[in-house]
Amino acid sequence: MTTMPTAADLLPLLPELVLVGGAFALLMLDLFLDESRRIVTHLLAVALLLVAGWLAFSGVGGQGTVLAGMFVRDTMGDVLKGGACLLTAFALVYAWPFLRQRGLYKGEVAVLMLFAVAGMMLLISAGNLVMVYLGLEMLALCSYALVAIDRDSGLASEAAMKYFVLGSLSSGLLLFGMSLLYGATGTLDLATLRGAIAASQETALLLTGTVFAVAGIAFKFGAAPFHMWVPDTYQGAPTPITLFIGSAPELASFALAFRMLESGVGPLDDRWRLLIAGLAVASLAVGNLVALMQANLKRMLAYSAISHIGFLFLGLAGGGPQGYAAAMFYVISYAIMSAAAFGAIVVLSNQGFEADRIDDFKGLNARSPWLAGLVLCIMASMAGVPPFLGFWAKLVVLRAAVQGDMLWLAIVGIVFAVIGAFYYLRVVKTMYFDAPAADAPAPRNDRPLRIAFAVNALALLVLGVFWNPIMAWCQQAFA
């Protein structure tokens, strides 16, 4: 006979309980606030994310498993949860002036982001296939609604519909893979699943389930050839929403990959590592080559995201503690870079001027040398120029691929890193060497927004110099 969990037993769930409880409270509070006082909901949402992130980072509540092993709190989970909360807080800071100016900011924007983060946190700590699916769908449903927040925009509605249809397809693939794994082993618990696979003689069903699971994971990452939703969704969604879905959920996607592939089907790693390597090559090729042809900056960053997923997969394909630590370091680095890149579009945009084309950055150095310098930091980091954070991120995943006996994959990564540098340098050339357009509006004069953007962009340089503590944290998670 099982006993009911006590309050002490649920302490590892403290960050999630605080976040969900606060989200429900804000949902009720927003009913009693008129439009002029909606800043209250917004500021409380940011504060709630910072509190939940601090609870995760500092380990308050302790580590361990709860809910009969369905929820696992460990060092990896604490780091990723804290990062997801911090990035979402930045997304809300970026969202406030942009959405308010266009009449799009509603109380549900903050609440949907809070529930999406709650889904991420459950996914990051999933110890059971049921928890994996619960966290994934909670995140996905909130994301669909956020993309469609501008109901009067045909582009946003189309993006949300594509995101919903293809997201549903990916969830179906993942669920089918899970059902095959359950059918072959008779368990939903990831730790038990790993042991059952190690002792099982059944290979066809397990391998088929693993292939479908990898396909579902690749869909969630936006890896080629499962990337069809990424460019349209990134372009169609309001820029702060694109910033959110292009940064924080990547941390949860990495946790999904690790929990499913290593914690679940780890004994089959000689097979799924080859699948991941193939997806890495496809993502690097499609992402970098198609990004070269883009004139819209949001679409360019979307294809850039696909190429960055290819680099992340280099670490996963390398396997082992060093490979997983390298992939985790890469996904944290990329999430910060992605937030800064879309933040640049938010800062430069204005009413009637979305600043989402590369030509909109013409002559930015003549108009605002400070902002041009910050955008330069972002593009240099994404291109992998030392000493920025992106350089070390690329270096560690390339090293992980070599250590995992995949030298050929590392060589492919180096080749496409050189190709990818071209489209980032094109933005730099546009800012510094092209004449500014006569009708270009002045950059947004919003002090909190500019401070947040400066912190976000300069973090790429500061963390590039002091990257070792973050890498040590990632290595500790897989020690």
Q: Are 97 and 226 contained in the same domain?
A: yes
Contacts of 108 (CB under 8 A, 6+ apart): 27, 30, 145
CA dist., res. 425 & res. 354, Å (int): 21
Q: Are 340 and 380 contained in the same domain?
A: yes
Q: Which of 299, 328, 302 lies closest to 313 in space, CA to CA?
A: 328
Q: H helices within 106-153, ranges in order?
A: 107-124, 129-147
Cβ 249 vs Cβ 221: under 8 Å: no
Range of the domain at 82: 10-180+215-258
Q: Are 310 and 166 contained in the same domain?
A: no
Q: Are 284 and 173 contained in the same domain?
A: no
* Model confidence pLDDT, tens digit, residues 363-418: 999 888 999 999 999 999 999 999 999 999 999 999 999 999 999 999 999 999 99
Q: Are 106 and 59 contained in the same domain?
A: yes
Q: Are 353 and 247 contained in the same domain?
A: no
The CA radius of gyration of the chain, in Å to the nearest whole number, is 21
Could you tell me the mean pLDDT of each successive run of 10 residues in the chain, 479 residues long? 63 94 93 84 94 93 88 93 96 91 84 96 94 94 93 88 92 93 92 90 87 93 92 93 94 94 90 94 96 94 96 93 94 96 92 84 90 95 94 95 94 95 94 82 80 94 92 90
Res 1: pLDDT: 44
Give the strand pairing for 71-73 and 64-66: antiparallel
Res 301: pLDDT: 96
Q: Are 97 and 238 contained in the same domain?
A: yes
* Model confidence pLDDT, tens digit, residues 262-289: 989 988 988 899 999 999 999 999 999 9
Q: Are 105 and 252 contained in the same domain?
A: yes
Count other C-beta atoms under 10 Å from residue 2's C-beta: 5
What's the domain count of the chain?
Answer: 2
> What DSSP string describes 12-81?
GGHHHHHHHHHHHHHHHHHTT--GGGTHHHHHHHHHHHHHHHHHHHTTTT--EEETTTTEEE-HHHHHHH
Q: Are 173 and 289 contained in the same domain?
A: no
* Model confidence pLDDT, tens digit, residues 15-54: 999 999 999 999 999 888 887 788 899 999 999 999 999 9
Q: Are 242 and 314 contained in the same domain?
A: no
Q: Are 221 and 274 contained in the same domain?
A: no
Res 8: pLDDT: 66
User: Six-digit token pair at 173?
Assistant: 């693939």
Last residue of some domain: 231, 258, 285? 258
Whether 38 maps to a domain, the answer reads: yes
Q: Which of 58, 237, 73, 21 lies closest to 144 in space, CA to CA?
A: 237
